């Protein structure tokens, strides 16, 4: 089960966002890129060549401004073409243009003049303007009964302040008074208040708690923390050349006017511009306060250059405007953070003011929070929050590697230089995140409940595996040993290619509520654009995600669909069709080991049939080869037992599931006396490109009793249903025709009910 909507979030450009490096104790068209558009289908996939022009273009600020102007001029037409309601309006947030002329325009929405939180979408258009696809944060049509609230704003403010105090804030009132919004992040548009409460958290980090309250009932719908956590002689990077204005101050006119200020222990305001009696800043030690300033200024400079030279991005927002840095925040503050409100990075001086958090990868990390805010705006909570943090770690390390500074050897350990723990260990490990004792190596259903700094481990681990591959290895002077969740190896594609894929997915496909399943879809789409669908690089992306338990493996060879574990009755005939495909459509041959006695596989068709003659369990491995020598294998368990009053009944006839159409049914006739058991097992196998569209019910033979096996979930963008459900059918007669009923509730995808069975 995916995390509930209350573990997800959305954001709008009007919200203030601040991101800290460390955990601080606070926690139409489809809703996502479709597998067809993203090229994410695993089996029988057509090879699609890469588009040489799919790399994001290097736009000047004036070129980007012209694209924004053109998009703003057509928002009404775009809204109509997307089928939005008459009260809905689009607001352009960003435009990315590829070298081939394709554009990716990111919009936010309003309804009857109110901001829609969770209404963001991205429209992809070809060079001539033809719309190729739309990615939405929510599929629901935006509509509420009334925009007149029953709850007074003061009541929402009191509740928000209470929530903030429970998390350490001493604020007695909201920083930003409650504003009316439409809350749509959970797929149920609701009139709500958004209240922002400030103050400081327990560790001194600024507090910006956003609380979403139902404007009619007073129920708290959601909350998230907005705080995301000349010559220079630096502490971490050695002697470097700094961009200055030539007037002995840290002001870099060549990088959008980036400036570095000192707060001198303060916690508010811009601070004082760092100056020097000459063009040398710092002495390389903590004795000179300008040393930390030199590190911060250098980090911002290198990060600017990395994004511009590698990804064609001019500045954090892409508008050529430099952010600014603040050093010496508070006293002994062991953190650093990015703040959208001031468009700036802020650095503490560490424990006992002895170890400023101004290392190069930290600078890259913090500035990347600004890039994320200006693009996908991944909300800082749940899985999207983990992806937000992971994105900053990914590009923080990419900046460090790209700088190629011998004093800062590139590595996959976050905060390795600052030794914040005081024991020679980094903050986080990308090769095996769980080494920090808190981070997740792989996805699981509750990973979105972890602090975002630790749920980010899934993204960090994926990026390491995609870049370098699995297993033990030495890279530079550092040793790594990266495991995989499925025990299968991963071959890396190189860090530079991995970063290009992630950046394209972030800037052109991800959205505010993207979770790990969506991130897989987005990165596969980006890999397909840049390297070709079905290419080795494309498949490596899928396999790296599978290695952190997100989605299934892809293969450049023969693709074999696993049938799932099998259960049969001794002396009862069985028939199981193995499905496989070759990327070039070549003829296939099948073989199998471990089959129960009495069963065999047809070498030409892949049909396993026969009558098992003995009880027991075995592990079956099926190998499929094509005429070109490519192979694919699957492994599953096969258990043969006696009836002992139990029986297995199955229907293997495929049934097409229409897109947003009427429910379809598949029957199974059961011939046995007595009632069904209290733990009736229902195994279901469905191929579908967006399983969240599906609602699945089991219908009893008399038609009067129905069990809901699976509800529709517009946020569940993963493909296929392969699940076993258990229902209490003890009050229902077993004999008769049972039906599985499947309904597709949303437009955009189709699928097939391949098979289902009942185990009594």
Tell me how far apart the alpha carbons of residues 152 and 412 are, in angstroms, rounded to a whole number. 50
Number of H helices and E strands in the chain, helices first, is: 12, 40
CA–CA dist 240, 298 (Å, integer) = 7
Q: What is the 3-state secondary structure (H, E, C) of 419-438?
A: CCCCCCCCCEECCCHHHHCC
DSSP H helices, 314-381, are: 360-374
N residues, the chain? 760
Q: Is 366 a catalytic residue?
A: yes
Token pair of 107, please?
């919009």
Residue pair 466/493 in contact (Cβ under 8 Å)? The answer is: yes
CA-angle at 135, arms to 134 and 141, nearest 5°:
90
DSSP per residue, 528-583: HHHH-BTSHHHHHHHHHHHTTTSS----SS-EEE----EEEETTS-EEEE-EEE-T
Q: What secondary structure letter does DSSP report for 316?
A: S
Q: Yes or no: say if 559 and 528 are a contact pair by the CB < 8 Å rule.
A: no
Catalytic residue among 453, 559, 650, 688: 453
The one-character DSSP state at 597 is: T
| CA–CA distance, 45 with 556 (Å, rounded to integer) | 10
Q: How many CA atoms lie within 13 A of 751 on its CB side?
A: 32
Pairing of strands 258-262, 324-329: parallel
φ, ψ of residue 163 in degrees (nearest 5): -65, -40
Q: Token match 């502490």: residue?
A: 235
- Assess contact for 578 and 652: CB atoms under 8 A: no
Q: Which of 366, 383, 508, 650 is catalytic?
A: 366
Joined tokens for residue 444: 């699981």
What DSSP state is assigned to residue 253?
Answer: G
Is residue 138 within 8 A of residue 119, CB to CB? The reply is yes
Query: What residue ranges in 443-541 does DSSP mark as E strands?
Result: 471-475, 478-482
Is there a contact between 564 and 552 (Cβ–Cβ < 8 Å)?
no
Interatomic CA distance for residues 45 and 618, integer angstroms: 31
Sheet holding 280-281, edge to edge: 239-241, 231-233, 280-281
| CB-CB contact of 656 with 649 (8 Å) | no
DSSP state of 674: S
CA atoms within 13 A on the CB side of 23: 20
Question: Element (H or E) spanning 496, and its range?
Answer: helix 495-508
Is the Cβ–Cβ distance between 513 and 379 less than 8 Å?
yes
Residue 458's H or E segment, with its range, is helix 457-468
Evaluate whether 84 touches 124 at the Cβ level (below 8 Å).
no
Strands 280-281 and 231-233: parallel
Distance CA 440, CA 71 (A): 40
Q: Are 537 and 531 in contact (CB under 8 A)?
A: yes
CA angle centred on 204, ends 200 and 205, rounded to 5°:
75
Which phi and psi angles does 219 have, rounded to 5°?
-65, 135
541 within 8 A of 527, measured Cβ to Cβ:
yes
Shortest CA distance to 8 belongs to which of 185, 134, 156? 185
The residues assigned a catalytic role are 366, 453
């Amino acid at each position: 089960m995916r995390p509930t909507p209350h573990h997800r979030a959305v954001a709008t450009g009007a919200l203030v966002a601040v991101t800290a490096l460390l955990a601080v104790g606070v926690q139409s068209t489809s809703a996502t890129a479709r597998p067809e558009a993203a090229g994410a289908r695993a089996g029988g996939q057509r090879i699609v060549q890469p588009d040489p022009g799919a790399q994001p273009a290097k736009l000047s600020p004036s070129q980007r401004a012209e694209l924004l102007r053109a998009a703003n001029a057509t928002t009404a037409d775009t809204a109509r073409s997307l089928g939005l309601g008459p009260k809905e309006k689009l607001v352009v947030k960003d435009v990315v243009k590829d070298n081939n002329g394709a554009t990716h325009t990111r919009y936010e929405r309003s309804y009857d003049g109110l901001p829609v939180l969770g209404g963001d979408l991205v429209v992809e258009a070809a060079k001539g303007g033809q719309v190729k696809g739309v990615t939405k944060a929510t599929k629901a049509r935006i509509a509420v009964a009334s925009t007149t609230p029953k709850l007074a704003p003061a009541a929402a403010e009191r509740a928000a302040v209470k929530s903030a105090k429970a998390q350490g804030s001493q604020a007695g009132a909201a920083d930003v008074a409650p504003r009316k919004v439409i809350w749509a992040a959970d797929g149920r548009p609701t009139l709500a208040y958004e209240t922002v409460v400030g103050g400081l958290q327990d560790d001194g980090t600024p507090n910006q708690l956003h609380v979403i309250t139902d404007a009619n009932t007073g129920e708290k719908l959601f909350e998230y923390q907005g705080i995301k956590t000349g010559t220079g002689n630096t502490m971490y990077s050695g002697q470097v050349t700094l961009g200055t204005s030539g007037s002995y101050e840290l002001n870099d006119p060549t990088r959008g006017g980036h400036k570095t200020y000192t707060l001198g222990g303060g916690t508010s305001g811009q601070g004082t511009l760092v100056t020097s009696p000459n063009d040398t800043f710092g002495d390389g030690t903590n004795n000179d306060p300008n040393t930390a300033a030199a590190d911060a200024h250098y980090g911002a400079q290198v990060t600017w250059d990395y994004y511009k030279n590698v990804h064609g991005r001019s500045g954090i927002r892409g508008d050529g405007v430099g952010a600014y840095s603040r050093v010496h925040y508070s006293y002994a503050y062991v953190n650093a953070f990015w703040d959208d409100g001031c468009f700036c990075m802020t650095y503490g001086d560490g424990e006992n003011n002895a170890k400023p958090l101004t290392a190069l990868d930290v600078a890259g990390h913090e500035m990347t929070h600004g890039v994320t805010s200006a693009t996908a705006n991944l909300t800082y909570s749940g899985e999207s929050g983990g992806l937000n943090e992971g994105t900053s770690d990914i590009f923080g390390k990419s900046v460090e590697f790209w700088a190629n500074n011998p004093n800062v050897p590139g590595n996959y350990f976050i905060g390795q230089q600052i030794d914040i723990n005081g024991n020679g260990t980094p903050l986080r490990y990308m090769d095996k995140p769980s080494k920090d004792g808190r981070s997740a190596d792989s996805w699981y259903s509750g990973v979105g409940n972890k602090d975002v700094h630790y749920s980010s481990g899934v993204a960090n681990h994926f990026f390491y595996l995609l870049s370098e591959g699995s297993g033990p290895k030495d890279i530079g002077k550092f040793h790594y040993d990266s495991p995989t969740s499925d025990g299968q190896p991963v071959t890396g594609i190189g860090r530079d290619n991995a970063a290009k894929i992630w950046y394209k997915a972030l800037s052109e496909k991800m959205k505010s509520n993207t979770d790990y399943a969506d991130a897989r879809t987005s990165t596969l789409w980006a890999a397909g654009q840049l390297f070709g669908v079905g290419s080795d690089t494309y498949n490596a992306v899928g396999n790296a995600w599978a290695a952190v338990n997100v989605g299934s493996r892809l293969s450049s060879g023969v693709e074999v669909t696993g049938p799932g574990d099998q259960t049969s009755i001794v002396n009862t005939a069985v028939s199981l069709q193995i499905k496989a495909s070759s990327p070039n459509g070549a003829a296939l041959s099948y073989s199998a080991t471990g089959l129960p006695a009495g069963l065999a596989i047809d070498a030409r068709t892949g049909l396993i049939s026969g009558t098992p003659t003995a009880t027991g369990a075995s592990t079956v491995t099926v190998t499929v080869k094509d005429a070109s020598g490519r192979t694919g294998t699957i492994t599953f368990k096969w258990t043969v037992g006696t009836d002992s009053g139990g029986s297995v009944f199955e229907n293997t006839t495929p049934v097409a599931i229409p897109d947003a159409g009427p429910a379809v049914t598949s029957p199974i006739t059961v011939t046995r006396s007595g009632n069904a058991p209290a733990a009736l097992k229902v195994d279901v196998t469905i191929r579908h490109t967006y399983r969240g569209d599906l609602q699945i019910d089991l219908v009893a033979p008399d038609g009067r009793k129905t069990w809901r096996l699976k509800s529709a979930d517009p946020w569940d963008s993963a493909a296929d249903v392969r699940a076993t459900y258990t229902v209490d059918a003890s009050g229902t007669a077993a004999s008769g025709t049972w039906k599985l009923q499947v309904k597709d509730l949303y437009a955009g995808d189709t699928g097939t009910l391949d098979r289902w069975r009942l185990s009594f």
